[in-house]
Structures are given as structure tokens and as C-alpha cells.
A and B are shown apart, each in its own frame.
Chain A
């Protein structure tokens, strides 16, 4: 039990599909993050939300669309992905300047 829950754990999708990743935190944090983890590369910060407002978009392609309806929930909507988008997508949360707490990730495979 990490306090940050991600669903689904695994997702296989075709390049024309539309799917969404969900993240929920039960830690009372106000900031939420999406990271991409690919093999042999450092973690890549994708998006940051603070008090539901997007404060960072790290040059992420528009085929990734985040949504943060409240401080406890974060979504990543996916459409027309490419095979190179296959990776582990990690959600995290924190108090404003505190350490990040991660979920277990969604393993995404794009076929």
C-alpha cells in the first residue's frame, strides 16, 4: 500500500486506440506528477499539477493529455500513440516542496 494508486497496472494498446491512465493519492498532498520511465534512460518529468493547476509541461507531445479534476486524482489520456511511447508511466504526489511519493506505475505497451 503506497498511498498512491495507479490503474491499470498493465495496458496494451494499438496505435489508433484511445485509453486513459488513472492515479489517485490518499496522502493529502497538493501536487501531482506524471513521469515516464524508459529502459536505460533517466526518469522523464512529463507534467506537474499544483493545487489542480498545471505548472509544468515538459515539451510532451500532444498525444498525451493530462487532466487533474482535484488534488487527489490525476489522469493521463492517450491517443494515437507510437511504439516508442511504450514505457512505465509513474504517478507521484507531494506536499508543495516535500519528497515525491510514487505509485507502482502502469506498464504501457503500444503495438
Chain B
């Protein structure tokens, strides 16, 4: 089955850039997502990229996709203490049929710790 892997932990200093990496196995992935989870909350959609793109930028967030290596990264510029959270990568495979709901495969999440 599909598999999504992330490193478990990343520590950065406030003001530095953070880069969170993700690898996936499903070559039929159509969309790839980044979600953020703060303590006591659900998953918040941060950004996503379609598989025919290799980069997407949204304010402080930059997503890079290397489809050949099945590697996705999320770069957070000027990391702030409010960015401390768990970040989940997820991929959506091409649906078997139209009219079906999304099926996402999630990684285990990367805990980002921002230090002063």
C-alpha cells in the first residue's frame, strides 16, 4: 500500500528557515498536502500542490516537489514561535472512480520546535 514517511523532530531558532521533508511511495499521487496540528487541536490545512507542479509559494511557505524522487518539502521562512506544532505530509492517489471521496495517506508527522 501507499506509504508516507517524515522525520519525527526538527528544532530551529526563531528567525531561521525551517525545512520539513517528506517522501512517499505512490507514483499515482495527484495532490500532496501539508497540514499543521497545534496542541489540543485538529489538523489545519496549510497548503497543497498538484503533482504537475514543482514549486508553490504562499507568503512564508514554499513547497517543493520532486516527483521523480517522490520527495516533498515545506520551507517556512522566518520561523516564529507560533510555528511550533506538528506538521503532517499527506498524499492523495488518483481515484479509481469519479464521484468518490478523497482518500489521503498521512505521514507520522514532524514535530517542529522553535527556540529563542
- Separation of A25 and B101 alpha carbons in the complex (Å): 16
Q: Is the CB–CB distance between A42 and B106 below 8 Å?
A: yes
- Other-chain residue from A55, A90, A103, A105 in contact with B100 (beta carbon distance below 8 A): A55
- How many A-B pairs with Cβ below 8 Å? 65
Task: Please provide the chain B residues from 48 to 100 with a CB less than 8 Å away from any CB of chain A in the complex.
Answer: 48, 88, 92, 95, 99-100
Task: Please provide the chain A residues from 34 to 91 with a CB less than 8 Å away from any CB of chain B in the complex.
Answer: 40-43, 45, 48-50, 55-56, 90
The minimal Cβ–Cβ distance linking B17 to chain A, given in whole angstroms, is 25
Contact status of A96 and B101, CB under 8 A, knowing A42-B4, A103-B42 = yes
- Top 7 A-B pairs, shortest CB-CB distance: A31-B101, A102-B42, A50-B101, A43-B106, A102-B43, A104-B42, A42-B108
Q: Is the CB–CB distance between A100 and B41 below 8 Å?
A: no
In the complex, residue of chain A having the shortest beta-carbon distance to the beta carbon of B94: A97
Main secondary structure of the interface of B (DSSP, over half): strand
Q: Is the CB–CB distance between B104 and A50 below 8 Å?
A: no
What interface size band does chain A fall in? 20 to 34
- Separation of A70 and B45 alpha carbons in the complex (Å): 24
The minimal Cβ–Cβ distance linking A28 to chain B, given in whole angstroms, is 15
User: A4-B42, A40-B108, A100-B104 provided; 13 other pairs, C-beta below 8 A?
Assistant: A42-B4, A48-B103, A50-B100, A50-B101, A56-B101, A90-B43, A96-B101, A96-B102, A99-B45, A99-B48, A102-B42, A105-B41, A105-B42
- Separation of A43 and B42 alpha carbons in the complex (Å): 12
Q: Is the CB–CB distance between A2 and B102 below 8 Å?
A: no
The minimal Cβ–Cβ distance linking A59 to chain B, given in whole angstroms, is 12
- Point out the residues of chain A lying under 8 angstroms from B105, CB to CB: 42
